[in-house]
Amino acid sequence: MISAKYYAGETILETARRRGLMINTNCVQGFCGSCQVSLLKGAVEMRKNKALTQKQLDSGAILACQSVPQTSDCLVEIDSC
């Protein structure tokens, strides 16, 4: 597990990149789904989601490029590493 300090307003993608972690991306606007990761703990708010289905959301999928943490701890699994 790798932890990263979070700065208010950052997305999961921005935090990961600042920490040197790679997450696949394409549009970075919530449309393509390339940045899909799994939220294992905590809560996020997605600014936009035009890629994930309700079934994917229900299983914990989030868009890293659009997700802003809403809890003090978030644990995310990056499947694409």
Task: Report the interface residues with ligand FES, using CB under 6 A.
Answer: 25-28, 30-35, 51, 63, 65
Between 4 and 24, CB nearer to ligand FES: 24
**Least distance from C-beta 52 to ligand FES, angstroms?**
9
**49, burial (CB in 10 Å: exposed 0-12, middle 13-18, buried 19+):** middle
Between 6 and 25, CB nearer to ligand FES: 25
**Least distance from C-beta 36 to ligand FES, angstroms?**
8
CA–CA gap between residue 44 and residue 69 (Å, rounded): 4
**H or E segment to which residue 12 belongs:** helix 12-18
